[in-house]
Amino acid sequence: MDEVDSAIVRHLQEDARQSNREIAEKIGIAPSTCLERTRLLRQRGVIRGYHAEVDLAALNRHVQALVSVQVRPLNRSVIDSFHQWVRHLPEVLTVFGTAGNDDFLVHVAVRDIDHLHAFLVDKLSDRRDIVSFRSSIIYRRDTNNVLDPL
Amino acid sequence: MDEVDSAIVRHLQEDARQSNREIAEKIGIAPSTCLERTRLLRQRGVIRGYHAEVDLAALNRHVQALVSVQVRPLNRSVIDSFHQWVRHLPEVLTVFGTAGNDDFLVHVAVRDIDHLHAFLVDKLSDRRDIVSFRSSIIYRRDTNNVLDPL
DNA sequence: ATTGAAATCCACTTGTA
DNA sequence: TACAAGTGGATTTCAAT
């Protein structure tokens, strides 16, 4: 991870579909060098993938919420099974397994308030290992798509 | 947003760097059609961008936390200024503006526990509009990179 | 709006230092 | 490890439907 690698990573975070030549020119290296570096970054797992960012409203997901969840008993089997279950629900964007008062924080995006309610009472409430949950509507969200090394 | 558009969006969420021909073939349309559809999706804002996903550990960010923040007084000026300030800090991945007990939830990724502490006491504590904050370490995080319309 | 073909551009491989 | 040149393949444009 030298300066060249960092620059490649930065440019690919900004726009993953720009051409290899373009990135090479911006950095000031040969296109073949840039391509090889990029391949290694991908292979080493520094770059985990390339994804289109989609407008949630265009996917009929006008309401977002953060749902904090407590599960019991607190053992690996319960924690892992809840985590795997919740992360594959179609409403779920991100699952955080956390320390502190809550065991999980789940970021969901649904069609409207009614569907949020349905998600909570029909899906979450059905699980016996969930002790309690509390949800907060999200008014606004901003994500830093390009992160530099610290 | 018909079936073809949805398919394009799905494939680009899965791998934003696969070729246009590849996507066209998987869907069963002409490459030129696929290209035009993709351009329109981008132009209409359905697709907001293409970003490389990077391993946080490779960026020297081994510790993640969720920081819930209360600000006062609760007016637009205070809320907006905090939101804009915090979202541009290098440690911050995502800012959620929420309803409920907490006004903001901030997802941060830092080098280690010491840097988390430094972030909290040196940066957050400096702001007069912050009434209180509470942070939870993140043990695990899973993100759904491909979302279907509801 | 979709397509097929032409032209331009790019990725990938090979060879060399 | 980096670069330069060559080839196969992709993107892009455009005329026609």
Phi, psi dihedrals of residue B122, rounded to the nearest 5°: -85, -40
* Closest chain B C-alpha to A130 CA, distance in angstroms: 18
Banded model confidence at residue A129, pLDDT cuts 50, 70, 90:
very high
- pLDDT reported for residue B46: 97
- Write out the H or E segment, with its range, that includes residue B64: strand B63-71
In CATH, the number for domain B3-43 is: 1.10.10.10
B50 touches chain A (CB under 8 A): yes
Contact B144 A94 (CB under 8 A): yes
The two tokens of residue B118 are 């430094």
| Chain position carrying tokens 């599960």 | A71
- Mean pLDDT (chain A) is 96
Provide, rounded to the nearest whole percent, the portion of chain B with pLDDT above 70: 100
Banded model confidence at residue B9, pLDDT cuts 50, 70, 90:
very high
> Hey, where are the domains in chain B?
3-43, 57-138
B142 CA to centre of own chain: 13
A20 touches chain B (CB under 8 A): no
- pLDDT reported for residue A22: 93
pLDDT tens, position by position, A6-18: 999 999 999 999 9
Residues of A within 8 A of B61 (CB-CB) are 147, 150
Contact A92 B144 (CB under 8 A): yes
- Give me the residue from A15, A46, A96 closest to B66, CB to CB: A96
* Closest chain A C-alpha to B124 CA, distance in angstroms: 18
Banded model confidence at residue B108, pLDDT cuts 50, 70, 90:
very high
- Give me the residue from B54, B97, B147 closest to A59, CB to CB: B147
- pLDDT reported for residue B91: 98
d(CA B22, CA B27): 9
B59 touches chain A (CB under 8 A): yes
- Write out the H or E segment, with its range, that includes residue A137: strand A130-143
| Chain position carrying tokens 């996903």 | B53
pLDDT tens, position by position, A74-125: 999 999 999 999 999 999 999 999 999 999 999 999 999 999 999 999 999 9
- pLDDT reported for residue A26: 93
- Give me the residue from A59, A98, A143 closest to B136, CB to CB: A98
pLDDT tens, position by position, A21-71: 999 999 999 999 999 999 999 999 999 999 999 999 999 999 999 999 999
| Chain position carrying tokens 């520094």 | A46
Q: Do domains A3-43 and A57-138 have the same CATH topology?
A: no
Amino acid (one-letter) located at B134: R
- pLDDT reported for residue B112: 98
Contact A98 B139 (CB under 8 A): yes
pLDDT tens, position by position, B31-79: 999 999 999 999 999 999 999 999 999 999 999 999 999 999 999 999 9
Banded model confidence at residue A73, pLDDT cuts 50, 70, 90:
very high
d(CA B9, CA B42): 10
- Mean pLDDT (chain B) is 96
Q: Check residue B150 and report its DSSP letter.
A: -
Q: Which CATH number fits domain A57-138: 3.30.70.920, 1.10.3720.10, 3.90.1150.10, 3.30.360.10?
A: 3.30.70.920
Contact A61 B150 (CB under 8 A): yes
